[in-house]
Amino acid sequence: MAFSTLLIVRFLLASLGCMAAGLAVWALTAACRRHLPQVAVQRSTWLLGQLTIIATFLALLLPHSERLRLLPAIELPETMLAAPAAPDHATTPAQGAAMAGGRGAAADYRAWLSYGAQAWLSLYLLGLAYTTGRVLQSHRTLNGLAATGERLVLPGRHQGLDAATPPPSLAVIEVDAPISPMLFGWFRPRLLLPRHLRSFEPLQQQMIVEHELTHLRRHDLQWMSAGIVLQTLLWFNPFMRLLRDNLAWAQELGCDRDVLRNRTPALRKAYAAALVGQLRLQPHPVTHSAKTALAFGGVSARTLAARISLIREPAAAPRGPWARGTAVAGLAGVFAASLAFQPALADRAPAQAAAPATFSCTDMVDAASGAQLVRDGHCDERVTPASTFNIAVSLMGYDSGILRDAHSPSLPFKPGYADWNPEWRATTDPTSWIRNSTVWYAQQVTASLGAQRFQQYVRGFGYGNLDVSGDPGKDNGLAMSWIASSLKISPAEQTAFLRKIVNRQLPLSAHAYDMTARLTALGALSNGWQIHGKTGTASPVLADGGDDRRHSYGWFVGWASKGGRTVVFSRLVLEDTQESAAGPRTRDAFLRDLPAQLDAL
């Protein structure tokens, strides 16, 4: 599956995730409305609910958000992983037929998933264009209505304005239309007053106008605009519309409360009567155009009774800050749970049926400040860590006590151990293990740790995609997850991991840091920078499970220190295979240019 398709599939999952988040947010806010009414009448409750949903949507779109998930990943078949050459790829005719059938089924699955995700993206864009058009059309309708009206510029032209002083920037326009008094205009606010408002009692007119001016003072137009934008972006999520409607409801109640503060019961009754009278005079209490305006009568029959009840009876004193804090904490919990329980994709890298194209990355970061010094190339491309993972294994081994010093334990080579390189067929200690990238020695360390502790270390390190499950169905994660298998990491993630090591931000013993730095020390450059680093070499694996003999991954990662400053770096290349190993070749080329690069930083 191409990288662009993976992004589209991630968009589909983010859409589903925000729907689930919307359900949880709506349940929480509905509970607030029932049990904490003083919190529910606050505008912030409903706008924060919308923000929680869209934050969930955006967070699920971000790369590497699956680090926070607790659910198993959705496996995408036919992956292309980076790995060293496997010793045996021979298959029988029956196995070949089975593999071909499996690849066909996987291809069908991938095709349907890809088509479904692309169809959803197309539908989303069409819906976004339609919804945006409806909002703009509503605004144009209100502008057209205002253009037909008469601007009230002189004092005494309207009884509703006798007790109010509108700001000079507000245009008050009287229109001959069966609408509710309303405030609209995101950037140039205007107050529309229907001509039939003159039939109300003068005091009722004044309270209605004061209601609309209170919207202006409370910046409700800006709150409304934010709600409309968020609802438009996630037009497909019904909970965004419900939250937006309740935001409007809370805005109206807030203005009612401010207008009626310290008013007598008789005036409250007159105000409620004015609301009912206004609804009788307008044919459609809630029109689409009213969605982009703050209308005095902009309520539905479902909310009318509740609003009148709150108008007639003064609201109870708001509960303490703990009530709002509880609501905010609940919304934060919904956001965190949405990330933790997302059905994330198993990030098993680019899937092309043919050999991958070559690429490279150089990533350099200041260890102290985290400032990005160099980022050049495909630095978010995840591939196998290969032998660079030995840095992590070294930290685990020394922290757990399995490794003791630079030469202990010294373990003999045994038949059956990985022996792809001649140097591995000898007694090995920590120093020669790091120098020769001896796979079987690292496997002895991880076997001594055990699967549970190994997993805990990888998660604690925040290493790559955190997936140490190994090959599907083989239960070999403890021995092979970082080689031709599930664990992958990008150059940008390598530098982030190395920065934690240099700053000693991981929960490890000082001995683990000291010994790992000692084993990875490579000496000094000509300009005095001390270098620590580790190479890694691997062959990509094609979609059919075979090794790509024509290309090789070459890693070199580490850090350089001089005069109290440390720079962490990661270099990755995918290039045509040559006689020499890609990792050492990458290291040598990088170190040739490194002095000049460091002097220029």
Contact 345, 6 (CB under 8 A): yes
Cβ atoms within 10 Å, residue 178: 12
Select which of 338, 387, 400, 481 is catalytic: 387
Q: Which of 17, 26, 23, 15 is nearest to 246 (CA)?
A: 26
Task: Give the list of residues 6+ apart from residue 94 with CB closer than 8 angstroms, or none.
Answer: none
List 48's β-bridge partners, or say none: none
| Number of helices followed by number of strands (H, E) in the chain | 18, 12
Picking from 401, 179, 148, 195, the residue whose alpha carbon sits closest to that of residue 294 is 179
410 as an active site residue: the answer is no
In the chain, the amino acid numbered 305 is A
What's the rounded Cα separation, in Å, for the pair 399 and 240? 49
Of 579, 557, 578, give the one whose Cα is nearest residue 385: 557
The two structure tokens encoding residue 381: 């491309």
Taking alpha carbons only, the member of 106, 109, 120 closest to residue 14 is 120
Helix (H) / strand (E) element for 240: namely helix 238-260
Q: Alpha helices of 282-389 — where are they, by DSSP H?
A: 301-312, 321-340
Inter-residue contact 141 to 289 (CB < 8 Å): yes
Place of tokens 């709002």: 324
Residue with structure tokens 């605004």?
139
Active site residues: 387
